[in-house]
Amino acid sequence: MQRAFLSFFLLLTMTLGGLNMARATALGATATVQDTIVVRLPNKATLTLTVRNAAQLRDMKNYHLDSLTSRLATYITQAEAAAKTGTTDQVTMRFYPDKDQPGQNLPEEIRITAHKPGANERGSTKTQVFLNKKFGLVAHTDNDGNTSYNFNSDKKKKTAADSLKRVNQERSSSVSFRLAFGLNTFVNTTANAVSTGAPGLDYWGWGVGYLDLGLDFVQPLAYSKRAKLALTFGPEFSMNNFQLQGNNQWVQGISTTYFERAPDVKQVNSSTLYLGSLNLPVMLRLKLRNKDDRRTLSAGIGGFGGYRVASNIETEYKLTGSDYKYQDKISGPLNLNDWQYGVQGEIGFHSLRLFAKYNMNELFRDNKGPNTHVLSFGLNLTGF
């Protein structure tokens, strides 16, 4: 085993000298990039060297690895002897070369764990060499005499710290931006004095449908490595556009708002009823992740309430025999219900997230417009 360590460190010294300049350009490009060098030794051992930048690689020559080989041979002999005579199955010994001979850039700590050999098996030895507080070497010899080496930077410590930081973030409250868009349709329509049914809507015109922008204040309720249950709420501005099909138009009468077919001399390009509301949605949401920390399944259910802050009717049309395009716009309450409230839900798989919102109250005031409810559905692009 001593010869295995001697061969390793001699080869390591030559490898570091040759790779010092060859890796400097690649390693120095970005300080946060992890670069890995794998060296397979003739004695079946494998050396894995991971550094964060070229400076760490160049620092290796300051640790006198050539003299360290003779020290390791002495330390390993002491550890194996202690393991043979010890009363436990393994013995761990620590040596501090830098303290014994300060000022010579020797390793801070060498930790050797030797197992007591059994009657019919060879002993296994694990050696850890800490060159400084940021990176060190771990060498392990198994019962078959095979030796493996692992030389790491503080990557493990950083990974553990990042993991702890992420857990703390997931368990604490946060704020996320939400953007969703989709379509509107009329449901549960009944006849009244204003209308005999629901108007036909054009779902595919520009600016047609539903859009909302908002903030989600996320308050976690339960959290695990793969799942998170949270209560979300926050302000939302929603825009509903109801554009009629064909040669139909919205009309603001004396006391009612209704739709009708335009006269034949009027060619309607688009007639749209717009409603803008400031809402406060409250939802209970569940988010699941896989072992790679990627979103898999998500679901949510809740409700919303809000107030109408803007509404208008905009109609674009031409008259027969004229190429001039006219535009009429009427703003005001338009006999719409000022308060809007309802239920909503969402479900998602990976990056695809669907939502649906149902207004429990009617769009118009009683007998002031079509007797109908609004259903909106579409895609959530961002948010919890």
Q: How many CA atoms lie within 13 A of 375 on its CB side?
A: 9
- Over residues 215-230, the mean pLDDT reads 91
DSSP 175-229: EEEEEEEEEEEEEEEE--SS-SSPPPB-SSSTT-EEEEEEEEEEEEEEE-SSEEE
Tokens standing for residue 249:
């138009």
What does the pLDDT look like over 167-186, one tens digit per residue? 555 678 889 999 999 999 99
User: What are the sequence ranges of the domains in the chain?
Assistant: 2-159, 172-380
What does the pLDDT look like over 141-160, one tens digit per residue? 555 656 555 555 444 555 55
- Find the helix or strand (DSSP H, E) in which 79 lies: helix 65-85
The reported pTM is 0.58
Residue type at position 19? L
Percent pLDDT > 70 in the chain is 68
- pLDDT of 114 reads 78
Q: How far apart are CA 270 and CA 31, in angstroms?
A: 58
Average pLDDT of the chain is 79
- pLDDT of 142 reads 58
- pLDDT of 118 reads 63
DSSP 297-348: EEEEEEEEEEEEEEEEEEEEEEETT--PEEEEEEES-TTB-SEEEEEEEEEE
What does the pLDDT look like over 281-298, one tens digit per residue? 999 999 998 888 788 999
Q: Which of 184-188, 198-202, 204-208 is predicted with the least confidence, judged by mean pLDDT?
A: 204-208
SS3 state at 287:
strand
What does the pLDDT look like over 89-103, one tens digit per residue? 778 888 787 787 777
- Over residues 195-218, the mean pLDDT reads 90
Exposed/middle/buried for residue 213 (C-beta within 10 Å: 0-12, 13-18, 19+):
middle
**Confidence band of 16 (pLDDT split at 50, 70, 90):** very low
Q: Where do we find the tokens 């303290």? A: 99
Closest Cα partner for 225 from 296, 301, 154, 155? 296
Q: How far apart are CA 246 and CA 194, in angstroms?
A: 20
**Confidence band of 11 (pLDDT split at 50, 70, 90):** very low
Residue type at position 139? A
CA 169 to chain centre: 12
**Confidence band of 20 (pLDDT split at 50, 70, 90):** very low
